[in-house]
Amino acid sequence: FSFALAEWLRETLLTGFPWNPVGFGLMPVPLLMQSVGVVGMIGMNSLAVFLFATPALLAGRRHRVTGIVIAFIVLATHAGYGFYALSREDGPATTLNVRIVQPNIDLAEKWDETVRDRIFKSELDLSRQPPAPGRQKPALIVWPETSIPFLFQEHPDGLRMIGEMLQEGQLLLAGVARAEGSGDSALYYNSIVAIDDKGEIVDAVDKVHLVPFGEYVPFESLFERIGINQFVSGPMNFVAGARRHPLAVPGGFSALPYICYEIIFPTLMMDQPPPKSFILNVTNDAWFGNTPGPYQHLRQAQIRAVETGLPVVRAANTGISAFIDNKGRVLDGLAINSQGFLDAEVAIPQESPADA
């Protein structure tokens, strides 16, 4: 109970940071992830601590047999339910052809004006590559978080070039830094924009849950006086968006947008997603470097897929980009620190999981 409470507080206090909760120890593979869809992360945290503490009963005399039997039943039920959930047939689904672009932009070059044209050209070239033989052209192309290395106000030709790259009926969902206003009064947002084949921005959604000291500095004037700035240097401080809404995708589909670490918060998942929905997660994990961070971040997306019953399309700048089905299985992915694109037919439930 205490561990579950501590994990809930870690998710809630000071904007929250539920990274690698203890319950993840019980969910290393999709077979052992399915129970989270029933008991949630709080329940998984409690069960994990109970099971991991069971060997301590061997050192005592009281409750030894009872505790070990209960632990065995819990573990068997956990694994048995996973087997049942993975073997159970899903409801009706329709497919959407999606391309993920992984540009592998060096963090040191990301906002360098001398190389931004090269970066942008590489993203356009990857997006316009023909699909593999036997595959249809993607209706949706996804670029990672802040993948466009300039503000559209400073480079209006960028929208025209995207429109020329897109074929008729295609839509691009791209991570951008978006500005409102100009000069010292400008506000900057970490956003996803939807761009159609005419090179027009038809929709946009801003990141709601920002990373403290990474994307903004809370109580900025106070911390600046004692020499504390952003831990991850960038060209601007971001402002949080007001709300999140689904993005319309060709074919009547809806993308539920989560930017970077928003995917790690179970409480941010939409309670009533519209029919034909999938989770869209764009991120830039380059600042993790060569650490377990990108792999841990991917695991969080897998868990959200199981909790919500929705597939995940994950586009990451340096990796790990992946298509994840609604049971947390990685269907295909791009290796970390590699450049390329990935095409897939994503099976998307026709009904909202909340209504099914």
CB 312, CB 304: distance < 8 Å: yes
Residue type, position 272, single letter: Q
* Catalytic residue, candidates 7, 11, 123, 145: 145
* Catalytic residue, candidates 110, 260, 276, 307: 260
Q: Which whole-number Å values give the CA distances from 79 to 22, 127, 194, 308, in the listed order? A: 18, 41, 41, 19
How many angstroms separate the first and last alpha carbons of the chain? Answer: 32
- Nearest C-alpha neighbor of 303 from the set 87, 33, 70: 33
- 121 catalytic? Reply is no
- 276 catalytic? Reply is no
Which residues are within 8 A (CB) of 330 and not within 5 positions of it... i.e. 6 or more apart?
Answer: 298, 302, 322, 323, 324
Q: How far apart are CA 273 and CA 46, in angstroms?
A: 28
Q: Which whole-number Å values give the CA distances from 125 to 102, 139, 291, in the listed order? A: 12, 17, 29
* Catalytic residue, candidates 110, 207, 276, 327: 207
- 345 catalytic? Reply is no
Which positions are catalytic? 145, 207, 260
